[in-house]
Chain A
Amino acid sequence: MKTIRVEVKGGKATFDFEGFAGDSCSDEEKTIRLFLGQLGVKTDEESTEKKTDPEAVRLVERERA
């Protein structure tokens, strides 16, 4: 299961991706940002914090096995 949580406040949108294996969350973020541009919502990435999601790591290890 993949989950995206988004907080929009004061002209900023914060995305939190869970359950994405490897760099697939980054691919999903790019898709959303491209879509947003098509709807006229311009975005600049302000900061990105990567963190290890134990479930995602397990998924990757399972795929490799």
Chain B
Amino acid sequence: MSSIVMLRVALDTPDLIADLLSQLQVINPAMAQFIQSLDPIPLIKECAQNTIDFLASESLTGIKKQDFVSNGRINTSTWDGVPLIGALSHYKFPDGVGVLVMADGAIKFVADDGRDYCGRIDYITRLFKEAFTAQAIKTILEIMDYQVVLNQRLENNTVVASLEGVKL
């Protein structure tokens, strides 16, 4: 049996989905225990960093990587004491959007939206969410012992990612 599954995805606070966990505890108790005991924060930070690097490497996005956000007067690399994982700017929005991984694992974006004249904050955060999903799937498949190849590109202002995981 081969199965094709389409999922709608969104970023949120890490959460063990109760019904999936209870199903997996029956199917594969060791894996369920492993996922339960996993500290997701380092993985989320790694995926976020890889996502920033990918978006900055794609010249089509017009996005650049930087380590601060600005309000036009002050540059900062922290927000409320939390260091930025990194920041992404655009030639139409050089102040940039900062990426934070909070203590609860949620990814937050910070920017001076009063200076965003071209809707670049929405553009950058949307591309980030799309690319982060692909990075997260790659990380998960690698933890599950798959050999993974990830190809990502930008098409019509949307991140298109293809992953292939192979396990012998």
> Which residues of A does B touch, CB under 8 Å?
1-18, 20-23, 25-53, 56-57
Contact = CB atoms under 8 A, between A and B. Distances in A.
Nearest to A2: B167
B15 A33 contact: no
B53 interface: no
A8 B139 CA distance: 14
A23 B9 CA distance: 23
Interface of B: 1-17, 20-21, 23-24, 27-28, 31-32, 35, 38, 40, 43-44, 47, 105-107, 129-130, 132-134, 136-137, 139-141, 143-144, 146, 158-168
Contacts of A2: 146, 166-167
Most buried by A among B20, B23, B139: B20
Contact of B2 (A7, A12, A18, A27): A18
Contacts of B35: 31, 34-35, 38
Most buried by A among B24, B146, B165: B165
